[in-house]
Amino acid sequence: MSAAGSLAAWNPLALWYSDGWTVTKRNLIKIKRSPDVLVFAVIQPIMFVLLFSQVYGGAISVQGTDYVQFLMAGIFAQTVVFGSTFSGSAMAQDLKEGIIDRFRSLPMSSSAVLIGRTNGDLLLNTISMVIMMATGLFVGWRVNSSPAEFFAGVGLLLLFSYSFSWVMALLGMSVKSPEVINNASFLILFPLTFVSVAFVPSDTLPDPLRIFAEWNPVSALVQAARELFGNEGTAPVPDIWTLQNPITTVLIGVTVMLVVFVPLCIRKFASISSR
């Protein structure tokens, strides 16, 4: 028996880590064998960057900053949130194909499947982020902050995406079929991403939508990314606590999502049976 195998045999934490890493590798190999998943995950953010910057950019004016600088943080936030849906769709598909039942029959940690699934999404979102930033540089986006702030911004976006993957994983285990997950997730994702400060300032929205946008957690993520990338310009920020303290708001939101949805996902996974 190898040293790693011996350690896993008596150390529950090492066993949990080994199981999680094994399932993560399984999901990465699955992506490698289905490159179309990666291709479409990359194409979508490129389309949004080009659409909003080149088609709509000339018609949208934001006080105190160039629209491309204003836009890119919103595109980053939208992409990592949309990318989190892979956890839900993959869990629903694995349930339909009976893969989850096979995992449950093995002597492994029940949370390892969920860890591996959300880790796979994190990698996809990281690749998408790199491609988006390259596209943003091509259309004129620039980082106007220090390297430490830049990497903090990237880390915050990926941390939010990872925590939101657990929300989508629970949704994926709750729907009746994989075909339902896209429609169900869009009912959540579209209001969160489009009724926010991602693409237009909140003061341009009707009052009900403005209030929703200003308290929307995705708006806080977008504002935090703008500040950390140095793209906020001189436009006034609404006098709302979540937008005045966006980094703190995002960290609170991430903590709440992990504390609430990780146990819910593990409990749901333990209770589901073959469909």
Residue 2 has pLDDT above 60, yes or no: no
Residue 160 Cα to chain centre, angstroms: 6
CB 211 within 8 A of CB 196: no
d(CA 134, CA 76): 12
CB 129 within 8 A of CB 157: yes
pLDDT in tens, 50-74: 888 887 777 787 877 888 899 899 9
pLDDT at 31: 67
Buried/exposed 43-68: b ≥16 CB within 10 Å, e otherwise = ebbbebbeebbeeebeeeebeebebb
Mean pLDDT of 15-43: 70
pLDDT at 16: 62
pLDDT in tens, 91-119: 777 777 777 777 766 667 767 778 888 88
Query: What tokens were used for 237?
Result: 């920020």
188 phi and psi angles, rounded to 5 deg:
-90, -45
At 40 the three-state DSSP class reads: helix
pLDDT at 59: 74
The model's confidence at residue 8, banded by pLDDT at 50, 70 and 90, is very low
Q: What is the DSSP string of 173-227?
A: HHSSSHHHHHHHHHHHHHHHHHSSSSSS-GGGS-HHHHHHHHH-HHHHHHHHHHH
pLDDT at 149: 96
Residue 196 has pLDDT above 90, yes or no: yes
**pTM of the full structure:** 0.86
Mean pLDDT of 118-143: 87
Query: What tokens were used for 101?
Result: 């039942």
pLDDT at 255: 97
Residue 9 has pLDDT above 60, yes or no: no
pLDDT in tens, 197-248: 998 888 889 999 999 999 999 999 999 999 999 998 777 788 999 999 999 9
CB 155 within 8 A of CB 80: no
Residue 6 CB burial class (10 angstroms; 0-12, 13-18, ≥19)? exposed
Residue 4 has pLDDT above 60, yes or no: no
Mean pLDDT of 26-45: 71
The model's confidence at residue 145, banded by pLDDT at 50, 70 and 90, is very high
At position 219, the amino acid (one-letter code) is S
Q: How confident is the prediction for the chain on average, in pLDDT? A: 83
Place of tokens 């040293």: 3
Query: What tokens were used for 200?
Result: 């237009």
CB 74 within 8 A of CB 196: yes
The model's confidence at residue 3, banded by pLDDT at 50, 70 and 90, is very low
DSSP code at position 143: -
Of 123-127, 137-141, 271-275, least confident by mean pLDDT is 271-275
